[in-house]
Amino acid sequence: MRALLCCLALVACSGAAPKSDDPGESHLSGSDTGLADDSGDSGDSGDSGDSGDSGDTADTGDTGEAGDTGDTGDTGEVDPWPIDGMGVLSGDCGDLLDPSLIEDPTPRLFQTELDLGTDGFDESALSEGGAEIWEDGNLGGSSVESEVVAYEVLYRCEGAGLLKTESEVVYTDPSGKKTDLIVELDGYTIGVSVTRAVGWPREDPYTVDHATDLLTDKLADIPLSTANVAPEDAWTRQILSVIAYAPEHAVSIEAAWGALDAEVRGDTVLFVTATNGDDDALY
């Protein structure tokens, strides 16, 4: 009889264990950490489940890190210049010619660099204005590519809009001095004269003397074309855009510009763009 009672007691003890695990099992549905605890201290594993919840809060901390990428939103506050386009453009870009600078007659120099890489001059990558200049062509010579690049630099660096191509500008004397483009900047009409700094052979050194001769000649034409333009196309001032065969050529242009007399520079804005990569089509 005593043996029978002992057996019954053992059965009763072994049958109670599943019930004490029930709370642990219900806790499993709330947290994976319940899986780590097969011990009967279901209450303790419940506490570790709570810390699992705080782990969830840590996850929100991770979201905080994603918020840090929002700090690149600060980059959004940085000027979005230059606009994407043909080749990689760098240098002096972004609101350089705001109204106060346009109205100030002080001559200015801006420097940019355009790397055309292996794609070279790619008409499919041009802006709408650049494509129009390319399609209209110019009044002679083989310089339309450089005129396109001059416009693209102003569009991508300053948000310039094309008003008229070379053949559309009206002059009082059709045989007098002309400019190459008319653009709009911040509501102002600006004439753009384009030239190229390159020697022959092309790889020969381009000296400061060469640059001085080029600038003196082109700057002398600026006031003449300004006086010749018809009233309906009259501009506020002119930009002389120099497309330079290599960065060394641009250095010579900049040195020559700095040495010129103030009356030679006048109120002209000089944009110097050194080109790299497959740029033979421009010269």
Residues 242-283 have pLDDT tens digits of 999 999 999 999 999 999 999 999 999 999 999 999 999 999
Cα(70)–Cα(74) distance, rounded to whole angstroms? 8
> Over the range 165-200, which residues count as b (16 or more CB within 10 Å of their CB) and which as e?
bbeebebeeeeebbbbbbbebeeebbbbbbbbbbee
Low-confidence ranges of the chain (pLDDT < 50): 1-75
Alpha-helix residue ranges (DSSP H) falling in 29-176: 42-69, 72-77, 99-103, 128-136, 144-158
Nearest by Cα to 222 from 159, 163, 151, 270:
270
For 133, how many CA atoms within 13 A lie in the half-sphere containing its CB? 30
Cα(252)–Cα(208) distance, rounded to whole angstroms? 5
Instruction: Give the model's pLDDT for residue 34.
Output: 37
Instruction: Give the model's pLDDT for residue 143.
Output: 86
How many CB atoms within 10 Å of residue 101? 14
Cα(12)–Cα(18) distance, rounded to whole angstroms? 11
Phi and psi at 79, nearest 5°, equal -55, 135
Instruction: Give the model's pLDDT for residue 96.
Output: 78
Cα(178)–Cα(182) distance, rounded to whole angstroms? 11
| Three-state DSSP state, 32 | helix
Contact criterion met (CB below 8 Å) for 236 and 102: yes
Instruction: Give the model's pLDDT for residue 162.
Output: 98
Cα(188)–Cα(154) distance, rounded to whole angstroms? 14
Instruction: Give the model's pLDDT for residue 280.
Output: 94
> Over the range 139-154, which residues count as b (16 or more CB within 10 Å of their CB) and which as e?
eeeebbbbbbbbbbbb
Helix 208-228, helix 247-259: angle, nearest 10: 70
